[in-house]
Structure 1
Amino acid sequence: MYLSADDRMRFLNRIEVDQATGCWEWQAGRNKDGYGRMKVGSRDELAHRVSYTIYKGPIPHGKIACHSCDNTGCVNPEHLWLGSNEDNTQDMMKKGRHRSAGSLGSRNPRSVLSEADAIEVLELIDQGLTNKAIAAKFSVTHSTISCIRRGKSWKHLPRKAAA
């Protein structure tokens, strides 16, 4: 990514150093996952990638800028390292930040159904009801029901064997 002198100055004006952690906290826009965002030319870039590029150089194809501090809002280049998606996943697992069994079903904070509701959904699927009909009964989207039907969500619940 090409960064103009103006881009670099805007970057520097949008950070605040946390003295306790050493993190450079991004003070402008963030995405839904908490990563800083910055407009560079006509593109929206992740602020930690901009930081890496400014201070350490270009990010090679197939590599990502990973956080050693695990703070998505941090843009301190000393807290960033290059790795693959697999490296990042291994780092996450090594630090115990991966999703655990405690996040299954209704324990998952994003769950919109209770365990009993999900079991009933599976029974209605077995009875041949459509995703749309089941979704209306539980006031959820048809894609929520589709994910249950395909085993993408609530996969820990027992299902009837396919006939």
Structure 2
Amino acid sequence: MSSQKHNEIKERILAKCVRDVAGCLVWQGSIHGKDGTPILKVSGIKKQIRVRPFLMDTVLKSRPKRVKGCAMNALCIDPEHCARASERKTMREKLGNYRIIAETGCHVLKGRNNLAGYCQILHETRYLLAHREAYRLFKSEIETGKEVHHTCNTPACINPEHLVLVTPAENKLMAQRDGLLNGPRIRGEGHGNTRLKVIEIALIREMAANGISTKEIQKKYKLSRAQVRHIVRGLKHNNITLVARIYGESTYQGFRHTLNMIAENRADRSETVAVLDNGRIRHYYNDRRDECWLEIDFSLLSPWSRKILGIPNAA
């Protein structure tokens, strides 16, 4: 900006100021609606004007980003009463605020951690993962699709010597090797909080297919109406793709042993459909359309399955 333009702006600023008894140059023009700082429209843009007289009347060669106001009057813009505010810390300065763990050599940053334990740094209005920024700053740029792995297994560590660049698959394998990941998610009867057996899911769907009302089903299994509808529509327990069809009440199906056999066979083939008919189970495989028959061995049934089937327990 030319000196003539500077002088014009300075005259506009001084025209809207009054010197009070304390020596403050009090601004009487527009102020910011949120923080109450003096502002002036220059070339159609509202600007914070404390910076301009501070820059004009001091020996600073570079324009400061922020200027502290007068301690006595918030509307004072006198350069003698203002001071240059501290500049924002660079990323290197922020990453330098760490403590060293003597046992492991980890550099643990002091700051905010997310739920996974990774430290986050506020930088230019955004929270960034500190270990990724440390790798980017002290080693190299992070390629697209790559992740930064901790060889020390300390999520808050930013020591560049403990950080390596890996693919997501490699990162997962390393975490499994170090025992950081839980086992596979347990679904169905193996889960401790399950309320329904696999056979009960099949029975509920079959009862609905045979026209039995939702009210009767929920009364029998002590479920809510929404739960029954979700099971019937496949919104819940959608991992159970088995469908059992009943031909007469005498062939009332549902025993865990046979279902386990079906589940084992279904591991290699998709969309198995079993049809119960006169004490036998037929498998239809969609990939090859072949079929096989399995005889029911009632001696292998559990007391619970016998109760479901209405079979008396063995003596």
Using the size of structure 2 for normalisation, the TM-score is: 0.36
Give how far 1:125 is off. Answer: 6.4
CA contact (8 A) 1:125 1:149 kept: no
- Give the 3 Å change call, closer, same or farther, for CA 148–34 of structure 1 in structure 2: farther
Amino acid at match of 2:96: L
Give how far 1:60 is off. Answer: 1.5
- Give the 3 Å change call, closer, same or farther, for CA 118–75 of structure 1 in structure 2: farther
2:99 counterpart of 1:8: no
Residue of 214, 230, 237 corresponding to 1:149? 237
CA contact (8 A) 1:7 1:40 kept: yes
Cα distance in 1 for partners of 2:134, 2:224 equals: 45
Radius of gyration: which is bigger? Answer: 2
- Find the counterpart in structure 1 of residue 172 from structure 2: 89
- Give the 3 Å change call, closer, same or farther, for CA 161–36 of structure 1 in structure 2: same
- Give the 3 Å change call, closer, same or farther, for CA 118–6 of structure 1 in structure 2: farther
- Find the counterpart in structure 2 of residue 117 from structure 1: 195
| Higher strand proportion | 2
Cα distance in 2 for partners of 1:47, 1:36 equals: 6
Higher relative contact order (CA 8 A, sep 6+): 1
| Higher helix proportion | 1
Give how far 1:100 is off. Answer: 2.7
Report the secondary structure of 2:90's partner residue: helix
Give the CA RMSD over aligned residues: 3.5
Give how far 1:76 is off. Answer: 1.0
Cα distance in 1 for partners of 2:235, 2:182 equals: 18
- Give the 3 Å change call, closer, same or farther, for CA 98–131 of structure 1 in structure 2: farther
Amino acid at match of 2:242: A
Unaligned stretches of 5+ in structure 1? 106-112, 136-141, 152-158
Report the secondary structure of 1:51's partner residue: helix
- Give the 3 Å change call, closer, same or farther, for CA 131–85 of structure 1 in structure 2: farther
- Give the 3 Å change call, closer, same or farther, for CA 90–160 of structure 1 in structure 2: closer
2:214 counterpart of 1:133: no
2:73 counterpart of 1:73: no
Count of aligned pairs: 135
Give how far 1:40 is off. Answer: 2.3
Give how far 1:34 is off. Answer: 0.8
Give how far 1:88 is off. Answer: 0.6
Runs of 4+ more than 3 Å apart:
113-116, 122-132
- Give the 3 Å change call, closer, same or farther, for CA 60–19 of structure 1 in structure 2: same
Using the size of structure 1 for normalisation, the TM-score is: 0.64
- Find the counterpart in structure 1 of residue 107 from structure 2: 24
Give how far 1:80 is off. Answer: 0.3
- Find the counterpart in structure 2 of residue 55 from structure 1: 138
Amino acid at match of 1:89: K
Identity %: 25
